[in-house]
Structure 1
C-alpha cells in the first residue's frame, strides 16, 4: 500500500470521526417565551394582519405544534410550571403573588427608592429548575427578559436558581413600562437613560388625544426589549466553550403598548386611521393602539430573524434547538383589541376566554421547534404537550444524568419523528378570576369555574367538534366527570399559600 493511500485512509477516518463527534455534540438550546402572544398572532398560525416573516420561516425550517399548552393562563405560574416541570396542581407558584405584606409594592416610585419592594414571592432555595439541570449537564445558562419568580435579595433570583447570567426585569410590575428607569444585571441594578413615568400615567390635562406629540412621554430613550436583545447577542457571541441554554423571556407583546416608531408608522400606513386609547383599561395611552400592538409583534419577529442570522454567521445554527412559544393567550386590557386581530385563532379570545382563563384561548399557545440537524423541516405535529414537558425533553437532549421530579413527558421523540408516549391527561388549576380547574383527556376537556365559592359545577367539552367550548356535555357524560374527579384527587395538592386554596374543595383560606 502506497504512502498516499495510507494518508487518504487516515484522512477519511479522521473526517468520519469528526463528523460523528459533531453530530453527538449536545445542541445549544434557545427557548423563546413571548408574553401574551395569542395562538393566532403569527402568520404561520393564520394571522392575516400582523406580519411575522422570520418566525414563519422558523416554522418552515422545523416543526409547528398545533396542540401545545401553557402551564397556566397568566405570567408567574406559567413560568413556574415551565421552569420546574411540575403542573399547577402541585407547583410552588399557582398564581401571581406580588408579596404585598412587604409594603406598597404597587407604588412605582416607592419601588424605585427601595428595591426590597420589587419582585414576586420567591420560589424555594434548592428548587430543581431547567437552569440547574442544564448547568449540571455542562451548559452555560442565561435568562434575558422577565423573571417574576423571586424578588431581589432573596433565594428566588435567577442566579440562585440555576442561571449563570441574568439581564432584564426581576419584577413583573416593573415590566408595566417598556421604558423603565432600570433593569437588573445579575444582582445589580442597571440604570437606563429614561425619565420616571409611572405605569397608568394618563395624558396631561388639556392634551389633544389625536395629536401624536401628546404621547411623547411614553416614548423615551432606552427601550427595554432592545437593551435585552443586545445582551442576548453578546451572550451568544461570547459563549463558545460550552453548549448554552438561553431562556429569552421577552416582555413583548404584553402591554403597555410601546413599540419602535418605525414599526408603528408602518402599521399606521397599513391599517389607516384609528381611535386613540386613552388609558381607561390601565397601562399607558396610545395614539394608534392597533398599529402599536402589531408593531410590537413585528419588532419581536425582526429580533428573531436577527438572532437566527447570528447563529448562522457563527456556524452554530444547525446544532441549535430553538423553541418559540408564548406564556399564555392574548390579553384584554391596556388598549389591545384581540378580537380585531383574531389573536385567538380558532379559539375565543375575548375577556373571559383568553388570558386569565383556562379555556383554550387562555392556555393553547403557538409552539415552533427548529433544530436543522435533527428536525425535519416543514413538519407539523398534533401531539398534545404542555409546559411541564419541557424539562424532561431538554433533560433528555442534554443527557442529564441526575434524577428530577417532573409531571412531564419528553416530546423529543416527536421532534425526531419517532414513536411518542402520550399523556393520560393534562391538568391545570388557577386560583384567580373566581378559581378554576381544567383537565384534558384525549379530546375531552373538563372545566370548573367559581371554585372560590362552595358551589361549583363541571363543564365538559368535546374539542374534536367544539373548539369554542360552547356546548357543555357534562350532563350527558357522568362517567367522564367521575374520571375527572379521580384525576383531581390524584393531581391536586392543597396550596401552601392560603390565597390559592379552593372553597369548592372544602379548603380553608
Structure 2
C-alpha cells in the first residue's frame, strides 16, 4: 500500500512536470465539513431558494464532484471514516453511542487519523468545530483531538452538546471556556451529555468557531520555505438542528438573525434553515479571502463537504428547499439522499477550474489523498483510494474503487454497496431483501431491478459480506454482539 502510493505520486509528478514545478509538494490543506447539509442545498448543486454565492464561486474556480459519498448516514461514524480512512465495515466508531460510556464512540490510541499522518511529515494541525470522536466523559479520553494528531482544538467534543448553538461553554484544547449564554436542560442525557437550549442568547457558537478557524490560519500561514504547512479541519455545526429546542419549541434552526430571508413569507424554521446555510457560505468566503490576503492561496487546497444527507429535525419544511435534490432519502437512509454529498475542491493554479467530476469516491479517500499530496505514508489497514490525480487534472490516471460500502445499525439495520454504476441496499441487516438500482439510469432509485439481475445482486451481496468485519461494540439492536475475529 505504501509503496503503491509513493509510485503514484512520482508518476503524477513525471506526467505533469510543469504543474508540479509551480506547486508546493506539501500544500496547506483546509477541509470544511458541514453538518446535515444535503446534496441539493447549494446553488451549484441545484438549490433555487437558498443563496450560496461563495460556494458557487468556489465550484466555478475548482472541481465540483457529483458522485462523492459520506462515510455514513449519521454523524459520528461518518467522521470516523473521514479520520481513519476505513469504511463502515472496518472503522472503530460505527454509530452514535447513546449511553454514558463513550468508548464505543471514541477513537482509540491505536487508531491512526489523517491528522497523525500529516503530523508525521511536519504539518501543524488545527481542529475547529464539532469533533464527536472523543470526550472527557467515561471511556472517551483516548479520542480527544490532541491525542489524535491535532495541535489545537476549539469547539465541541460531545455531539449532543453541539446541538445547541448557544451553549454555556466551548472547549479550548482540554479547558472549558465559559460563554455568556444560559441554558435550559432537558430531562434526559445522551452520549454522556445533557442537552438543552438557551434562554439567554449572547454568544453564537458558529461565529466563534469560524473566527477561531481564521485565527488558526493567520497563525499558521507562513511562506512555505520558512514554516510548516498546515492542516485545518473545520467541522461546522450548520445546518444541524438543535434537536432539543426543536422538540420543545418547534424551532430547532438557531441563528442570530434571518438576514436576507427575514421578509419571506416562510415559517421561522424555514427562514432559520436558509439563513444558517447562507451564513455558513459567507464564512467559507471569509476563509478564501483570507488565504488570498495572506498570499498563500496558491499553496492551499480547500475542500468542502457534508457529513451525511439532510435532516428533517428542525421544524422546517423539507419540501420547500428540496435538500436532497434529485436523490431519494435523507439522513439515516442508505439511499443516495442519505449518503451522497457535495464535494468542492479548489486549489488555484493546480485544480482545473470549472470542472465537474463524476469520480466515485468517499470520505475514507481523504487519507490516501493527503498522503499523496504531502509525501506521507498511508497506514496499512485502510480502505482509501487517493483522488489526487483528479485534483491535479489527471483524471485519466485516477484509480477506481472496486466498491464502496456502508452499514447502519439503527432501524433494524441495513447495508449498502456501490460498484461502478450499480447500487445494492439490503434491509434488514444481512438477511433481508436486497434492492438493486442502476444509478446511471435511475439516480433517484425509483426502480428496483433486482428481480431481473439476480447474478448482479449475488455479486454485490458477496461484497457486503466481504466488507463487514465483526466488532464487539456494534450490533443491530435486539441482537447479540458480534465477536471480532
Q: Would you say 1:267 and 2:243 are equivalent positions?
A: no
**Change in 2 beyond 3 A, CA 1:455/1:398:** closer
* Residues 120 and 150 in structure 1, CA contact (< 8 A), matched pair in contact too: no
Q: Please say if 1:315 is aligned against 2:295.
A: yes
1:182 aligns with 2:160: no
| Residue in structure 2 matched with residue 370 of structure 1 by the alignment | 346
Please list every run of 5 or more consecutive structure 2 residues that lacks an aligned counterpart in the other structure: 1-18, 189-196, 243-251
Q: CA deviation at 1:443?
A: 1.2
8 Å CA contact 2:108, 2:142 repeated in 1: yes
Corresponding residue for residue 205 of structure 1: none
- For residues 154 and 344 of structure 1, the distance between their equivalents in structure 2, rounded to whole angstroms, comes to 36
Quote the Cα distance in structure 1 between the aligned partners of 2:288 and 2:337: 29
1:400 matched to 2:394? The reply is no
CA distance in 1, matches of 2:266, 2:96: 37
Aligned 1:51-200 pairs, distance under 5 A: 51-98=51-98, 100-102=99-101, 121-152=105-136, 154-198=141-185
Specify the alignment match of 2:412 in structure 1: 434
- Correspondence list, 1:226-241, <5 A: 226-239=207-220, 240=222, 241=227
SS at match of 1:305: helix
State the match for 1:209 in structure 2: none
Measured at CA, do residues 411 and 502 of structure 1 come closer, stay the same or move farther in structure 2, by a change above 3 Å? farther
Q: TM-score, normalised by structure 2?
A: 0.86
Of 185-194 and 485-494, deviating more is 485-494
Say whether residues 1:424 and 2:402 are aligned partners.
Answer: yes
Deviation, structure 1 residue 314? 0.3
1:218 offset after TM fit, Å? 5.3
CA spacing shift, 1:62–1:443, aligned 2, 3 Å = same
User: Structure 1 residue 150: deviation in Å?
Assistant: 1.1
Distance of 1:147 and 1:506 partners within structure 2: 26
Distance verdict in 2 for CA 1:448–1:319, change over 3 Å = same
Could you tell me how far 1:38 is from its partner in structure 2? Answer: 0.2
What is the CA-CA distance between 1:121 and the residue it aligns to?
Answer: 3.2
Taking the aligned partners of 2:302 and 2:428, their CA distance within structure 1 comes to 38
Aligned equivalents of 2:164, 2:318: Cα separation in 1: 20
Match of 2:235 in 1: 249
Displacement of 1:496 in angstroms is 2.0
Distance 1:273 1:119, change over 3 A: farther
Structure 1 CA distance for aligned equivalents of residues 22 and 447 of structure 2: 53
- Give 1:336 shift: 2.8
Q: For residues 224-277 of structure 1, what are the alpha-carbon distances to aligned partners after superposition, in whole Å with 9 as ceiling and x for unaligned?
A: 011111111111001132110000000000002344444x142131x2243xxx
Deviation at 1:199, TM superposition (A): 5.8
The Cα shift of 1:374 comes to 0.7
Maintained 8 Å contact 1:393/1:411: yes
Determine the C-alpha separation between the residues in 1 that align with 2:334 and 2:392: 30
Q: Offset of 1:198 from its aligned partner? A: 2.8
Q: Is contact 1:431-1:502 (8 Å) kept?
A: no
Q: 1:482–1:403: structure 2 CA closer, same or farther, 3 Å change rule?
A: same
Q: CA deviation at 1:401?
A: 3.6
Write the distance in 1 (CA, Å) between the matches of 2:270 and 2:315.
8
The Cα of 1:508 is off from its aligned counterpart by 8.1
Cα distance change on mapping 1:492 and 1:260 into 2, 3 Å: closer
Structure 1 moving runs of 4+ over 3 Å: 19-22, 118-121, 216-219, 257-262, 401-404, 498-503, 505-509
Distance 1:314 1:135 in 2: 23
User: Which structure carries more strand by proportion?
Assistant: 2
Residue 247 of structure 2 corresponds to which residue in structure 1?
A: none
Counterpart Cα distance in 2 of 1:52 and 1:322: 17
Q: Deviations over 1:398-453 (max 9, x none)?
A: 110464421111001111121211111111111112201001111111001122xx
Q: Distance in 2 between matches of 1:242 and 1:42?
A: 33
- Could you tell me whether the CA contact under 8 Å between 1:331 and 1:354 is conserved in 2? yes
Once the two structures are TM-superposed, the CA of residue 472 in structure 1 deviates from its matched residue by 1.3
Query: In the alignment, is the contact (CA less than 8 A) between 2:182 and 2:200 conserved in 1?
Result: no
Work out the CA distance in 2 between the residues paired with 1:506 and 1:242: 45
Q: Which runs of 5+ in 1 are unaligned?
A: 1-18, 103-117, 202-215, 275-287
Matches of 1:427 and 1:199, distance apart in 2: 36
Corresponding position: 1:449 with 2:436: no
Of structures 1 and 2, the larger Rg is shown by 1
CA shift digits 1:360-397 (9 cap, x unpaired) = 00000011000012101111101111111111001100
Which residue does the alignment assign to 1:481? Answer: 457
Q: What is the DSSP-based 3-state SS (H/G/I as helix, E as strand, rest coil) of the residue aligned with 2:23? A: helix
The change in CA–CA distance for 1:449 and 1:130 in structure 2 (over 3 A counts) is same
Q: What TM-score does the superposition give when structure 1 sets the normalisation length?
A: 0.82
The verdict on how the C-alpha distance between 1:200 and 1:228 changes in structure 2, with shifts beyond 3 A counting, is farther
